[in-house]
Structure formats: C-alpha cells, structure tokens
Structure 1
C-alpha cells in the first residue's frame, strides 16, 4: 500500500530525533501566520505520530506539507525538507488568507475531544469583504412610510457609535483554549467597523474584569451622541452566565451573569443609550447545567408610583441573539471560528442594507435550521429578551 502524506510526515519527524523534534515544535509554537496551533496542543503531541496527526487536523492534507517544509528549513533541516517535497510533490507556500476554508476539526465551545467535520459551514462568505451599502432612496422610503415605527439613525457626520467586544480565548485551564476564536474576533471587529462602530475591545478577562468592562462601557460619554450600540461577548458559558478565563473546577465562581449586561445598559444606569437600540450578541455554550429560568424578569416587590413624564421603562430597546438555545452546545471550527459568528457576519454583510435587525436575526436562525452543512451537529441560534418597540435599520454606509 502506498504511503499517505501523513505517513511521510511521520517518517520525517522520526528522522529529526528528539532534539530536532523539540526544535520543530518550538518553531511551530512561534509561527504567527494563520492557522496557528496553541502551545498546549503542541505539547500534548508526544511522538511523531501525534505531531503528524496534529498537522493534518490543523492544516489539512494540502496545507500540512508547505508548513512542515517552512519550519524544517527555518530550523536547518534542509535535507529533510527537500525529501518531503520530493516524496509528496508539494511545498508551495501556505496561503495566509484571513479566512481560508478547509476541512479541519470542530470542537464545541466547552473543553473536550474534537469530532470530525467535513466542510466549513459557509463556503463563500469570506470572499465578499464588504458590507452591502444602503441607498439613500431606500432609507428615505423607509422613513417616509414607517418613520414613527423606526428608530432614529443619526447622521454619520455627527454621531459617535461605540461597540463593546470581549473575547476570551486563553484560559488558566489550557484544555479550555478556544481555538479559532481569534478568527471570530477579527471577523466581528471588521463587521462592526464596517457598520461605523468604534470598537472597544478586550481579550481574556475574568468575570470581575468582564463586569468592569461592561460597567465602564455603559459610562462612556460618547453614547449621548450615538444612535445605537452592539455588545459582543465570546467565551465558554453556562445557561445564564459567561465563564471568565480563571474558571476551573477549583474556581467555579469565575462566572459573569448575562443579566448584568442588561442591568448596566438599562435606562437607569446608561441614560446615554435610553430609547436607543442595544444589540447583544453572545457566543457561548449554554448547556451542561440546570438552574433558574434564563434571563427572567422578576416582579417588583412593591408597585412604583408613576408620575407622568418622569416615567421611563427600566429595560427597553434591547435585542439579543444567543449562539444556541438553553442547555445546548455551540460549535466552533478550529480554523475559521464559530458557526454563529460566521453566519452573523455573512447575513449582516449581505442583508443589513435592506432588512431591520429582527429580520436579520431571523435569517441567521434560518441558517441553523438548514442542518445539511453542519453534518451531524445540531445548534440553533435564538433571540432572547427582546424589548424593541420599533424597527432598527442599520442603513450601512449612510
């Protein structure tokens, strides 16, 4: 039986010896071009077979040889690099496209073994690197036909839109490293900027730090000159909470309650965003534990006096899209990021010029209804805690 490409990699790694293999793994850790492999995963590769398997799962059968050749030449094993190119007929440089699709492992947003997945969820969204702009005539028609039912969008020359982006990738428990999450961050930041939001970005926060970040974001003075905001948080999660990077079995209290996002951005604590759309996007698992009804509203102990114009709804103008329904997992492609972010970016990029936010979210949910591209994996995004009395159009470009 002829040898596979993976077999040839194993032979080359065997030839390197213990010291050469150590140099190879160190150089692989230092590699900056995407896709990258986390140090924890590389350290788990104990022999040539493990390392070859890791190269296949990350770079695929077409990409692993160029990367291997690149590293072999960098550490001075030119003879082995030449031999590998001759035996496989490969050796071209690996494309460094920020979102190049390939069949690699898929993992859920929690720690654990990686099931196999045969294709990227969306095979062409990354090729269209622009948000479709809205036309002035479309905006004028919407305003004239449904002006009282549409949230006001301020003129681009005077508004100051802010968006909060929190992405937890590296956890104290190395097994919880969210491979591919850096791609989600790149894509989501790009989308928000295309929609004219200045992105306030944080990475690898504890629960306490997440709370401070949301609280500080709510206090930003720019909201007074804004017409809306986005809050995006990506991490591991439970049914009603997001895990901080210090979360471990010995420190299970490092969790940030989703409810606090609404509390800090409500009319009382964030007056700058009163009566303005607040879009919450959360990518995290919600399975594995039971508890109280997620994000439920409690009844007040006593009736409050209402005095005419002084009254405002404490929580209003919110809409959130969760990556999955309660008690279920959210899947993540180790190279291209989560299915959730891929679909959110794709839908908003293509349809935000003509659809309001609820319709955009419906389109995202429809993507998950079509399970064909997700193989055997089942995940359903869902809207939650919506309190928007009007239609929110982003009118990109205007």
Structure 2
C-alpha cells in the first residue's frame, strides 16, 4: 500500500540528526514565504510523528511536502529533500499555512497539474466525448436525457461574476483571480461563450443576471451555466460596497432563480440551468448557501398552456448552510478547483448530477482537505431529466 503524506514526512524527520531537526523547526518558525508555525506549537512536538502531524494539519496534505522540501533545502539538507521529492512527489504547489487561508473560498491546486503554472489551460483539455458513447446513451435512455443541440446550430452562453476587490480592503479575495481564470477556461472548453463581470455591487449583479436572462441567444441554446463568486451570507451574495456601515449591499440568492425562471427567461424554458456559487454562508467551519423558499406553483404563461415557473435548475454551492468556504491566497478555492478538475476528467461520460456527486465526494477526503472542514452541496435541484454535456460534440 502506498504511504501517506504523513508517513513520508515521518520517515524524513526520523532520518534527520538532532541538530538538523532543530534547524528545521527554527526555520519553520521563521518562514517568510506565506507563514510558518508558531514556536509555542513546536514546543509541544515530541517526535517525528508529532512534527509530521503538525505539518499536515497546518499546511494540508497537499501543501506539507513542498513546505518541508523548501525548508530542508534552506538548511542544507539537500539529500533528504531530494528523497522526499522522489518519494512523495515533487510537483505539488507550495501551500500557505492556515494563517494564509481565508474563510471565504478554499484551495489546494486544480489537481496537482493545474496549479503548476499560469498556462496549464494551454496544456490540458477537457476529455472529449465520443460520438459512439453519445449515440449509445441516447439510444438506451434517450427519453430521460435533455436534448443537446448540434454544435453547429447552437449558441451557448454562460454568465461569470467574480467579486475580488471590495471597498473594505480587508475583504479583498486574494487568489480569486485564479478561480476566474480556471472557471472561464472550463466553460469555454464546454463550448459556452462567457459573459463576464468583475467587482459588482448588489444592484449591478441583479442587472447583470437580468440582462443575461434577456439574451436572444438562449433561444438557440440547449443549456446555461451561471457562476457567481464573492463573499456571502446565508442567503445572499455580498456586493463590493458591503461594509459594516453599509450592510445592505447584498444580492439575494433567490433572485438568481427568479431572473432565470420560465416567466423571466422563456428562452431557457425546459433547458438545464446550472448554478455554481462560491461564497460563505456563515461563520462556522464549512460553507454554502441554500434556498429557504417553498416550491413555486405552476403559472399560466400563454393561452391555456400551464408550465412550471421554476424547473430545470440544479445548483452546487461551495458549502453547507451557516458555514465557511476556504480559499487559498494564491491558488484559489477548493470548490472551483474541484469543480473544474471533475468536469474536465469526467464530463465526457457522466451527467451533471453524477459530476456534482463526484465533486462532493472530494470534500470527504481528509487527505485532500486536511484540517479544513468544508462540504459542497447540491441545492434547489429540479431537473426531471439527465443532463449530459457531451464535450466536443
């Protein structure tokens, strides 16, 4: 069985001499890149097992190894550093300590490969669906699958709103530019034209969603994605003018659905509408927001034709109600990285609800999440059929 990150670190620390281990701990306290570990914490470390455990709890399983390698090389222990690189993997991005992780969005790496450089999207691609698979799944289960228009005949749109810079400078969402880059890349790979906004007030977010709902292209589309990333409260997304003295700059989550429902957005009637929201919903460890509204009654839209006012939605929130969502100050959020990685690798064969289940499953992993507790969750799902993206077709 392959060794865990903790076990690799224990082996490395056991091989260090007394003086080398002392130098390692001192350097860990003085670490300037990102943040180190407080001296009081290290004084409680009795052996290699304790030190390995502290490293993983502080920097997460993904970040502990590169931090250890960085410090080993800094104190001249190049051989142990090389061995750790070889045994535990040298491609991991250097993570920041808990002190540099903010409670509004998360991170690690877009899977290891995606965090290596700014041009990863030029090297990787969404796995494409084969025509054979599409034909087979439609033949076997076509009546339960949303129709996907042929590529040459459709005009898919996606809305992307990302709030990074706030009037209150302490609320700046460092690392959120990576989320924007990663999500825009994914949407384009899935053949959506991205309508993008940055740094909007609540009023401007409302207008952006309403304007998007009115776009004529939806009549020639088969689906849409709406992605909103910002700070948040339980049932609202914060605008960039939100402060303690201006708490009214909030955009209710409910308004996203109201703007895109059958009445306000007839072009997307009976078509899948995927809502992705990265924002906190409270102060407890973990995070998401959900709708508290009761299901809407059917309404008459034209003549004697009755249709459901709200249908064909599915949402994936970054965490559960009342909890936080974590964001790395350099690499972006756990949520966006996992969404992009899962869809990149599995959208060619899985429908959207299965893709979301795979994303949620990622948040169960203590190996990936370390001590950061966050659980993504589905919300307000009203898809009566299966939505396959069939990337490339």
TM over 0.5: yes
CA drift of 1:110 comes to 3.9
Alignment of 1:85-104 (within 5 A): 101-104=93-96
CA drift of 1:174 comes to 0.7
**CA distance in 2 between partners of 1:386 and 1:303 (Å):** 16
CA drift of 1:123 comes to 2.4
**CA distance in 2 between partners of 1:160 and 1:307 (Å):** 25
**CA distance in 1 between partners of 2:301 and 2:355 (Å):** 36
Among 214, 222, 231, the residue aligned to 2:217: 222
* SS of aligned partner of 1:311: strand
**CA distance in 2 between partners of 1:343 and 1:130 (Å):** 15
Q: Does 1:387 align with 2:382?
A: yes
Alignment of 1:143-158 (within 5 A): 143-158=138-153
Query: Which residue of 2 is the match for residue 233 of structure 1?
Result: 228
Any unmatched runs of 5+ in structure 2?
Answer: 1-18, 37-62, 79-90
Among 291, 311, 322, the residue aligned to 1:295: 291
| Contact preservation (8 Å) 2:290, 2:317 | no
Among 265, 272, 279, the residue aligned to 1:284: 279
Query: Which residue of 2 is the match for residue 173 of structure 1?
Result: 168
Query: Which residue of 2 is the match for residue 350 of structure 1?
Result: 345
Residue deviations 1:116-157, cap 9 Å, x none? Answer: x9x658324556611000000000011111111100100101
CA drift of 1:250 comes to 0.3
CA drift of 1:345 comes to 0.3
Among 198, 214, 218, the residue aligned to 1:203: 198
Distance 1:359 1:188, change over 3 A: same
Q: Does 1:53 align with 2:32?
A: yes
Alignment of 1:358-377 (within 5 A): 358-377=353-372
**CA distance in 1 between partners of 2:384 and 2:351 (Å):** 13
| Contact preservation (8 Å) 1:100, 1:336 | no
* SS of aligned partner of 1:369: coil
CA drift of 1:218 comes to 0.4
CA drift of 1:310 comes to 1.0
Any unmatched runs of 5+ in structure 1?
Answer: 9-48, 66-84, 90-98
Query: Which residue of 2 is the match for residue 95 of structure 1?
Result: none
Query: Which residue of 2 is the match for residue 122 of structure 1?
Result: 111
CA drift of 1:108 comes to 3.3
**CA distance in 2 between partners of 1:322 and 1:238 (Å):** 12
Among 97, 102, 108, the residue aligned to 2:102: 108
Residue deviations 1:22-59, cap 9 Å, x none? Answer: xxxxxxxxxxxxxxxxxxxxxxxxxxx9xx836667x9
Residue deviations 1:152-204, cap 9 Å, x none? Answer: 10010110000000001111111111111000000000000000000000001
Query: Which residue of 1 is the match for residue 327 of structure 2?
Result: 332
TM-score in terms of structure 2 length: 0.72
* SS of aligned partner of 2:350: coil
Alignment of 1:121-140 (within 5 A): 122-126=111-115, 129-140=124-135
* SS of aligned partner of 1:230: strand
| Contact preservation (8 Å) 2:290, 2:380 | no
Task: List, as ranges, runs of 4+ consecutive aligned residues in structure 1 with deviation greater than 4 Å.
Answer: 1-5, 54-57, 59-65, 125-128, 302-309
**CA distance in 2 between partners of 1:344 and 1:315 (Å):** 25
**CA distance in 1 between partners of 2:373 and 2:240 (Å):** 26
TM-score in terms of structure 1 length: 0.72
Alignment of 1:253-268 (within 5 A): 253-268=248-263
* SS of aligned partner of 1:157: helix
| Contact preservation (8 Å) 2:301, 2:307 | no
**CA distance in 2 between partners of 1:306 and 1:230 (Å):** 24
Query: Which residue of 1 is the match for residue 87 of structure 2?
Result: none
CA drift of 1:298 comes to 3.5
Distance 1:148 1:315, change over 3 A: same
Query: Which residue of 2 is the match for residue 15 of structure 1?
Result: none
**CA distance in 2 between partners of 1:151 and 1:242 (Å):** 30
**CA distance in 1 between partners of 2:295 and 2:319 (Å):** 27
Residue deviations 1:61-106, cap 9 Å, x none? Answer: 79999xxxxxxxxxxxxxxxxxxx9x999xxxxxxxxx98222244
Aligned positions, number = 319
Q: CA RMSD in A?
A: 3.4
CA drift of 1:309 comes to 5.3
Distance 1:100 1:194, change over 3 A: farther
